[in-house]
Amino acid sequence: MKITINNSDSYATIVIPFFENENLEQQLNDISKQINFEQKALLSDFSAKAKEQVLGLTQSGEKVYFLGLGNGKNPGEVSKIFRSFFNANKEKLKLGASVILHNESIQNIARDISNGIFLAEYQIAKLKTGQKESTTIFNSDFTLNFQTENSESISNAVAKGRAMAETQMKMMAWVDAPANYKTPQMISSWIRESGSTNGFEVEVYTEKACEEMGLKALLAVGRGSIDNPAEFVVMKYSHPDATKTVGLIGKGVTFDTGGVSLKPGDNMNYMKSDMGGAAAVCGTIELAAKLKLKVNIVAAVPLTENCIDGKAIKPGDVIGTYLGKTIEVINTDAEGRLILADALAYVKKNHHPDILVDLATLTGNCIQSLGYAAAALLSNNDELAESLSKSGYETGEKVWRMPLWDDYKDMMKSDVADIKNLSSAPLAGAITAAKFLEEFIDGHTTWAHLDIAGVAFGDSEYGSMKSSTGYGVKLLTNWLESIS
């Protein structure tokens, strides 16, 4: 696909987005005159509701789509609408198309429009055989023109939206890949490649190195996986003008059987998505490097499978950790917090970040509490929590803060170890998981935990089964920009 940005090129197809507002009728009249579209009857019922479309022809024969963007109160909606529209039409559009950015409010969302268009290229069906490759706007000489009078600023926004989409699609492919196509070793190799391509440092620690480092909790979870042992990946991105260092930690369980505390068989296939936190973190540092954000980042992803074998940890076992604390394993299916404990403590001790944020598909309780609309946010710092909440709203990747009060701390007490990995009470699971993690930040005063279990993987119009949403990359990148 070729991209142009100017106010003169015209193509066989025109796409014109509109928000719902009181000036809609005047905007429609003005645009109709501009493109010689006189079929007013077609527009009489157009109200610009989200995804609403009106299709017609100009006097010159161009096909024109009037596309509704809704009321603008959900910033993430614009990208979703354009992804949906171009996904549905990527084989139908011929020769070229113009997206008319006809007023300031539309120009201001050029990044999101671009992001949605390029996300439409993503296909879940990577491993199907016997499929005839079809010609689309993405693999042909198709030209897409963003028609605007403000080409310089729009050019930067369009480029940024495209860069975001390219990184998001890579992370979505990671999460959607089956476990035998993304072992810890495969993912660490992908991360090395990304670092080499995009300009950030990558250090991969194999199982033996992890043992020498004292990552005991990570290795305990990985013991049940004989063929694909645990690995620990540390990434570093730096900018000469940066004033802050941010530590990012992502849960990287490439498949989760639950271990000896075996999960039910129904929908266990979806446990390939249990590395959504690691994907978000890797995508964020890749995009930060692409965009040259003025911030220093140290990112760590503990990678492992949680499998069943004679060497697998058992309920009742007591294991060690990088920090030195001991953990009583009540349930082996609460493994994500174990590997995060080591990663948090490692980054805090060795890299001294100003801010520490972890992301994980951690608890079913988070989904019970918030459904699929928002991630759970727990933090020991009000300013950090507020800034993450603001970025969540601005990107449409919303978060909702839950309490981190010490009232919940006693629920994690153990009689035989320093702490247990699961509360005995079947309630407040997202909160008690965060209270567990808090024990391993070693007194860090600016920390946030995001439980993304309900938002990293879900139903969509792009497949008959659940698939990756790419959650976290937009949120964290926006937040990093705001603090840098």
CA distance 117 to 386: 30
Asked whether 69 and 52 are in contact (CB, 8 A), the reply is: no
Name the percent of the chain lying above pLDDT 70: 100
Average pLDDT, the chain: 96
For 80-100, give the DSSP string.
HHHHHHHHHHTTT--SEEEEE
- Same-fold call for 2-148 versus 166-483: no
Residue 153 pLDDT > 90: no
Q: What angle do CA 82, 11, 49 make, to 5 degrees?
A: 30
Q: With bands split at pLDDT 50, 70 and 90, how would you rate the model's confidence at 132? A: confident
- Options 3.90.78.10, 3.40.50.300, 3.90.1170.50, 3.40.630.10; CATH of 166-483: 3.40.630.10
* 94 carries a ligand binding annotation: no
pLDDT digits (tens, 9 = 90+) for 182-224: 999 999 999 999 999 999 999 999 999 999 999 999 999 999 9
Domain assignments of the chain as residue spans, ordered by start = 2-148, 166-483
Mark whether 337 is an active-site residue: yes
* 121 carries a ligand binding annotation: no
Q: With bands split at pLDDT 50, 70 and 90, how would you rate the model's confidence at 12? A: very high
* 256 carries a ligand binding annotation: yes
Average pLDDT over residues 264-277: 96
Tell me which residue of 291, 453, 267 sits closest to 359, measured CA to CA: 453
Catalytic residue among 337, 348, 398, 474: 337
Asked whether 306 and 335 are in contact (CB, 8 A), the reply is: yes
CATH code given to domain 2-148: 3.40.220.10
Asked whether 42 and 184 are in contact (CB, 8 A), the reply is: no
CA distance 155 to 422: 50
* 418 carries a ligand binding annotation: no
CA distance 78 to 110: 10
Q: What angle do CA 320, 325, 328 make, to 5 degrees?
A: 60
* 335 carries a ligand binding annotation: yes
Strand partners, 447: 356
Tell me which residue of 277, 360, 263, 270 sits closest to 307, measured CA to CA: 263
pLDDT at 220: 98
Tell me which residue of 218, 148, 188, 161 sits closest to 8, measured CA to CA: 148
The verdict on pTM exceeding 0.85 is: yes
Catalytic residue among 192, 236, 244, 263: 263
Maximum CA pair distance of the chain?
Answer: 81
Asked whether 276 and 456 are in contact (CB, 8 A), the reply is: yes
